[in-house]
Amino acid sequence: MWTDTHCHLDASEFDADRDAVVARARAAGVSQIVIPAVVAGNFERVRMLAHEHGFSYALGIHPLYVMQAREDDLALLDRQLAEHRDDPRLVGIGEIGLDFFVEGLDAATQQHFYLEQLKLAKRHALPVILHVRRSADQLLGGLRRIGLTTGGIGHAFNGSRQQADAFLALGFKLGFGGTVTFDRSLQIRRLAAELPDDALVVETDAPDIPPHWLYRTAEQRAAGATSRNEPGELPRIGACLAELRGWTPERAAEVTRRNARVALPRLAALDAAS
């Protein structure tokens, strides 16, 4: 059985057929999905969906949305983490991090929200799910500055081997998803093939980061073609990872599920109860 460590099941792209999406995922062998929040306004939504479908969730403010966030959102996050500290489905703080790829995002504002959320992770003793896009070194600097020891997941990791090793040394696992299915993703595929067995978790980031078999060109999208990713694609993505490592898909599912439970320890009890 597979664990999707990153899926935005609350996204509007799933509003029309969310139950069918979940059913397809379960039929494909996906037993656990982590649903990360991205803004304070969807904290309740991700929690509700996790409980409704027997999945798990994380609470946090995404770097792409910090320009619209307020200090009150951090206070709300603190209160929510305290209020739901005994909720077994609350597995971490996320999606948080830094994004230096998208233009128009103030670096200082991103850093402020990132560091403040790391402080909350330390206060509440929870792992973090990190958004890593052209920001690995800065993220590592923040982790060391705050002294976070709870680890977590570097979501959609696309850094260097040196950066990967630095995250692993701080107790993190690294997430691989649809990008690993593209032949041209040479660096990511190299990392997926060469990192230690205990470094890897798998994810879809659905509805985003579609694998190659769902990819549509700009022209196709303009003509109305869609490329929505789904958690049910995870086993096929995992099979690509398995091929790169010389594993069977069954071994890939077993290893990455075990690693997910190490990165997000509350998953172990949920798996045992399911």
**Residue 265 identity:** P
| Known binding residues | 6, 8, 95, 131, 155, 205
Q: Are 73 and 41 in contact (CB under 8 A)?
A: no
Query: Helices (DSSP H) in 213-248: which residue ranges?
Result: 218-222, 234-245
Q: Which domains does the chain have, with CATH numbers?
A: 2-273 (3.20.20.140)
Query: Helices (DSSP H) in 175-217: which residue ranges?
Result: 186-194
Closest by CA position to 209, among listed 241, 239, 179, 174: 179
Q: What's the whole-model pTM score? A: 0.97
| Known binding residues for a divalent metal cation | 6, 8, 95, 131, 155, 205
Instruction: Give CA–CA dist 234/3, Å, rounded.
Output: 8
Closest by CA position to 216, among listed 175, 178, 176, 159: 178
Q: What tens digit of pLDDT does each residue of 131-165 get?
A: 999 999 999 999 999 999 999 999 999 999 999 99
Instruction: Give CA–CA dist 168/165, Å, rounded.
Output: 5
First to last CA, the chain: 11
Q: What tens digit of pLDDT does each residue of 189-231 get?
A: 999 999 999 999 999 999 999 999 998 877 877 777 778 999 9
